């Protein structure tokens, strides 16, 4: 795998773009903290971009299956760079509305880019290398997040906020250049095959999901970590305000990031001993318990430890889920499936994000984490009991779709 140039292109590009992405995210949080007093209003602003991504999800899925993945990634990269210009306008005018436009542009480009990337990964490595590559890819993403947030914090001390977005713009440009060097053989799919069910891309993929219980159950269980991750940034801001310490943001991001990377290393060994569903159920339980442990957020050390626990669990959870999807869903449906999954994630992310902002304003962080933790554990318990009653076979490889 390490002799594959495409692997290095994707990993190096992901690292550079990740640093730029997270410097931009820290810039967004800093801008909102100065301009928007309410947590609920912050969540509404963050959710606006997600809604735009949801609306183009079906189109993104069809285009990813119909056209070159590389081409989709290139045009998405260009759109991402163009979006940063709106954030410069927001800084120049002090207007939150320009920031909203910026976030819409970023999320629209992501709605096309990530299904294309997830569809491309199985095309550049062998199936038995997918778990390793998914883990390494997520590790690189996490390292870039840790370095990006640390770099942003250091830059804010000595530079104006606008320099964070200059760094993001440059990083996105480098990712775009790297994308041009990708070389992969993509299966051809005729337009008639894509148009058998009309104009909706998701009508084609729903029978596949319903016909594969392993995919359906995993798709629903994959929503559990979003109860924590969706409100991550708002919780970090809130914890910073509770302790009146801006430096705790960096400590939380670093602890969670390092624990996530440790999880992606451990999961390779666990995969040899445990079934994918055992991994999914165990670590979704750990995620729920980690959320509940944030009830003791007033203790700084315990708050950081709680984020580390969840980070480790997510690091084990997501490579397993991604590999299962990439191997069990037919490749001809990858674009539409990953776009559909992306849409579900965005809807869930948006609902939880708005709920997080609302609950932080109404009941506070400690009661909120108890509610979300209980939902996570209840969901895991329900699906675990159903799995015990009717075990899902992982050997299912193909599905016949009636046209």
Low-confidence residues in the chain, pLDDT < 70: 1, 127-131, 186-204, 246, 335, 390-403
Residue 398 lies in a domain: no
Q: What's the domain count of the chain?
A: 1
pLDDT at 237: 80
CA 152 – CA 149 distance, rounded (Å): 5
H-helix or E-strand spanning residue 93: helix 69-93
The residue assigned the tokens 């990813």 is 64
**Would the CA dihedral through 60, 61, 62, 68 be positive or negative?**
positive
Residue 295 lies in a domain: yes
Residue 364 lies in a domain: yes
pLDDT at 187: 64
Residue 158 lies in a domain: yes
pLDDT at 188: 60
Residue 222 lies in a domain: yes
Q: Please give the distance of CA 226 from its chain centroid, rounded to a whole number.
A: 9
| Residue 269 domain boundaries | 5-181+200-389
Residue 190 lies in a domain: no
CA 277 – CA 214 distance, rounded (Å): 9
pLDDT at 34: 79
CATH code: domain of residue 39: 1.20.1250.20
Residue 248 lies in a domain: yes
Residue 193 lies in a domain: no
Helices (H), 159-246: 162-180, 191-194, 201-210, 213-221, 226-229, 232-243
pLDDT at 395: 46
Q: Please give the distance of CA 334 from its chain centroid, rounded to a whole number.
A: 17
Report the phi/psi class of residue 189: left, alpha or beta, with left for phi > 0 and alpha for psi in -120 to 50.
Answer: beta
């Amino acid at each position: 795998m390490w002799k594959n140039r495409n692997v290095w292109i994707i990993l190096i590009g992901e690292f550079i773009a990740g640093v730029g992405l997270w410097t931009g995210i820290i810039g967004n949080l800093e801008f909102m903290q100065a301009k928007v007093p309410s947590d609920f209003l912050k969540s509404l602003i963050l959710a606006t971009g997600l809604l735009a991504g949801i609306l183009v999800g079906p189109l993104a899925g069809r285009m990813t299956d119909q056209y070159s993945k590389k081409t989709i990634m290139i045009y998405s990269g260009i759109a991402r760079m163009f979006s940063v210009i709106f954030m410069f306008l927001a800084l120049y005018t002090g207007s939150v509305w320009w920031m909203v436009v910026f976030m819409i542009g970023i999320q629209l480009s992501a709605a096309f880019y990530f299904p294309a990337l997830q569809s491309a990964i199985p095309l550049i490595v062998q199936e038995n290398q997918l778990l390793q590559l998914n883990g390494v890819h997520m590790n690189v993403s996490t390292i870039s997040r840790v370095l990006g947030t640390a770099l942003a914090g250091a830059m804010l001390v000595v530079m104006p906020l606008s320099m964070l977005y200059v760094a993001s713009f440059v990083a996105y440009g480098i990712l775009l250049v790297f994308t041009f060097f990708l070389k992969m053989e993509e299966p051809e799919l005729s337009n008639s095959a894509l148009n058998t069910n009309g104009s909706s891309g998701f009508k084609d993929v729903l029978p596949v999901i319903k016909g594969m219980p392993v995919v359906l159950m995993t798709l629903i269980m994959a929503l559990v970590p979003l109860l924590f991750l969706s409100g991550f940034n708002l919780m970090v801001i809130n914890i910073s305000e509770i302790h009146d310490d801006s430096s705790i943001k960096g400590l939380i991001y670093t602890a969670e990031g390092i624990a996530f990377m440790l999880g992606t290393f451990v999961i390779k060994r666990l995969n040899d001993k445990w079934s994918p569903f055992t991994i999914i159920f165990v670590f979704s339980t750990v995620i729920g318990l980690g959320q509940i442990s944030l009830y003791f957020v007033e203790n700084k050390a315990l708050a950081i430890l709680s984020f580390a626990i969840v980070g480790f669990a997510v690091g084990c959870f997501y490579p397993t889920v991604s590999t299962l999807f990439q191997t069990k869903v037919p490749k001809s449906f990858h674009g539409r499936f990953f776009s559909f999954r992306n849409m579900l994630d965005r809807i869930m992310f948006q609902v939880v994000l708005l709920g997080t902002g609302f609950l932080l304003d109404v009941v506070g962080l400690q009661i909120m984490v108890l509610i979300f933790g209980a939902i996570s554990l209840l969901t895991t318990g329900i699906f675990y009991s159903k799995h015990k009653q009717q075990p899902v076979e992982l050997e299912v490889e193909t599905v016949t779709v009636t046209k």
